[in-house]
Structure 1
């Protein structure tokens, strides 16, 4: 696994309007442990809005996705427009509402959403090159929107125990013509035909270490395919 070159794409900084920080960090830790070489990217666009994470409501300020993502990347980040697929073996997208607000419009339009053109072209380029794509939390909806017929997981398709309050996302994915595979939080699903690896992360109400382990499973499967 060592020496694999992986692009990590962020959507801002903070669960309610950017990338989920724990998910991004978990992915980076697992990639580091596996000896992967990682470069971080984000689109240079304005956020849909800014959420005051203490009050849980929108504020009047405006922020840039690339600038905010730089917080998570410790400043070592590039514009997504500069990503060259030929320089990488795989790409990974952590989750967070920023994916559904900034990278696409799923938060507002659901399955009728549009995907940011740079994000779409990046995913299509990795897919065309038969290079693996890792997606966690809400990020699998990007694949569902772009690659009809693909298989993904966002957890369980029914919220029978209260742990999967966003189970209706699974139904929306099915309505897009994709197959939703129910998996627990510590598991990842591998769509071998499309080389798409997904895990539900914070789409499940679970202890942080279980979410961390699920992201580790996703990262491991991505690196095996790379």
Structure 2
């Protein structure tokens, strides 16, 4: 979801944003990168990669929900981002093999990487229902706003 006029990611730069939150879901794992198919060997869409690198270079806060921390880790692997996707051993291992540090986390909580200004939450990687998922996402948004 977006507020305001939706723009092509190629026309957006870190200078245009205060923060960035990447939604998750299977579509994100197939369209922002090909993590859904290639796992740790995934490639990230070039414009998504550019924007994530710019955000990190400018120390702007980045949030990632559900499976999106895998894409984030693929891009920022040299920074060893600390992220969560919950407790799925296979996906956590993929994140670690890409250079990330995985932290187990409950559906209603967040993982905060203060050094890299990254906030993640498992959402439907764990969530039994929207009420549980919403609690973690609301915490993520609140934390991202506090970092702006």
Q: Give the TM-score category using the shorter length.
A: over 0.9
Find the partner of 1:204 among 126, 141, 145: 126
Contact 2:13–2:54 (CA under 8 A) maintained in structure 1: no
Asked if 1:172 is matched to 2:94, the reply is yes
Q: 1:223 aligns with which of 140, 145, 148?
A: 145
Alignment of 1:22-33 (within 5 A): 24=1
- SS in structure 2 of the partner of residue 213 of structure 1: helix
Give the 5 Å matches for 1:114-193: 114-148=43-77, 149-156=80-87, 166-193=88-115
Greater per-residue helix proportion? 2
Pairing 1:81–2:10 present:
yes
* Deviation at residue 98 of structure 1 after TM alignment: 1.3
Match of 1:214 among 125, 136, 145: 136
Aligned partners of 1:179, 1:85: CA distance in 2, in Å?
24
Unmatched 5+ residue regions in structure 1?
1-23, 29-37, 40-75, 157-165
| Alignment-derived partner of residue 97 in structure 1 | 26
1:80-125 CA-partner distances (Å, limit 9, x unpaired): 1111321211001111111111110111110001000000000000
Question: Which secondary structure state, in structure 1, belongs to the residue aligned with residue 50 of structure 2?
Answer: helix
| Structure index of larger Rg | 1
Count of equivalent residues: 146
TM-aligned CA deviation for residue 175 of structure 1:
1.4
Question: Hey, which bits of structure 1, 4+ residues long, moved more than 3 A?
Answer: none
Structure 2, unpaired ranges of 5+: none
Q: Distance in 2 between matches of 1:85 and 1:109?
A: 28
TM-score, with structure 1 as normaliser: 0.62
TM-score (normalised: structure 2): 0.93
